[in-house]
Amino acid sequence: MSTRMDQNKQGVYIDLFSGCGGLSLGLGNAGWKGLFAVEKDSMAFNTFKHNLIDGKNSHFEWPSFLPKKETTIQELLEKYPQELTSLRGKVDLIAGGPPCQGFSLAGQRNEKDPRNKLSEEYIKMVELVSPKYILLENVRGFASSFKSATGKKAKLPYAMVVKKKLENLGYAIFHDFLCSADFGVPQKRTRFIMIGIKKEHLKNELLNPFEKLLTMRSDFLKSKGLPDTKIRVKDAINDLLIENNELSFHSGNELSGFKKLKYAPKAKPNAYLKLMRKGMGKKAPNSLRIARHKPDTIVKFKFIQKICKPGITLNDEMRALVGTRKQAITVLNPEQPSKTLTTLPDDLLHYSEPRILTVREMARIQSFPDRFEILGKYTTGGNRRTQECPRYTQVGNAVPPLLGEALGTLIMNIKE
């Protein structure tokens, strides 16, 4: 296994809970070299492998002991403890975002959700590999207290439990909330970010990393050719309007099957679109399939667009008028960054067309460039919803690559 590299020039990282690769894409763009990634879902891993391991933009030097397939941290710890231990001193960074459904403030928070405990597997990997730096991303609720069984006294936020365990492993821990919209992402996606630095690598003059991030934000945006103002939704997806593009056959029956956008690039793209289209020429991105809505659904969507305030979730009175029990329905405001994307495509409606977004539109809002191809089923339902990770879910769960790149640049600067 070849893992040793010139670490003065390039940092080596491992991505845990990698999903389809948003964080890894950002880290690679920031100059990091990947060693391997861990993702349990086959569809998400196939997207990751296609773009970041096998593709021309690969930046991974995969170890020979590890198959290039979906796996879990638990399986890794059980099968390869010696190989993982041998990586000590060869890995600069362990990054990742443990599954967060039980912590999310957007749904039913569940202290006993088994996925919450996956953070402990992350800690075990940190202990075994002992990287110089750690990066952990999660939802805001990760740092919010659960109520006790009696409801009287709040329990310690799980983020603080994780922080204490990492401090016991010899790391200085810094944490804050970051909004993706501050780093060129057309989305108001606020996440809890934790950065750890091994105490022997902590420089005396080092500022809090998040203070350093604020000072480098403008330069980061300038390096991407982006303005220092928020990127609007229409800056990201206005070229993907059905009304401005032809439709062609995608799949299924010619009469009742799916259609897709026949994409025509804009002659004069805005700054964000220019970044997303870099290297594509006239080539169309993938995942342009249009949802197949029933006529009464289209009527309902038009009514929602008529009564809503764009960018604001429908209130109880509006939901009663629509006749829906669905809690979170929002029509995008084209003049602002999007609300946080979720894994449910019907949470957000298009700002001018009576439909949900395409996977590619969601990917644009997440800051995935058009060259990044999303693979697998588009959606899934029933009991499979908690077991599979189709395209909409892959994109909704991802770390926005631009935020990942900003964080990767920050840690690379600390490393130097």
Helix axes 209-223, 401-415, angle to 10 degrees: 120
21, 94, 202, 230, 328 from 335: Cα distances, Å: 28, 37, 42, 10, 20
Two structure tokens written together for 301 = 């969507």
Please tell me whether residue 93 adopts helix, strand or coil conformation: strand
Q: Looking at 296-395, which runs of residues are DSSP E strands?
A: 330-331, 348-349
Element (H, E) at 209: helix 209-223
15 contacts 96 by C-beta, under 8 angstroms: yes
43 is written with which tokens? 């569809």
314/322 Cα distance (integer angstroms): 10
Report, as residue numbers or ranges, the catalytic residues: 100
Strands 246-251 and 258-262: antiparallel
Q: How do beta strands 133-139 and 171-179 pair?
A: unpaired
Contacts of 397 (CB under 8 A, 6+ apart): 19, 20, 44, 343, 389
Alpha helices (runs of H) in 15-115, residue ranges in sequence order: 22-29, 42-48, 73-79, 81-85
Q: Tell me the two tokens of residue 384.
A: 């499979």
CA distance 26 to 183: 12
Which residues are CB-neighbours of 59 under 8 A, at least 6 positions away? 28, 32, 33, 34, 52
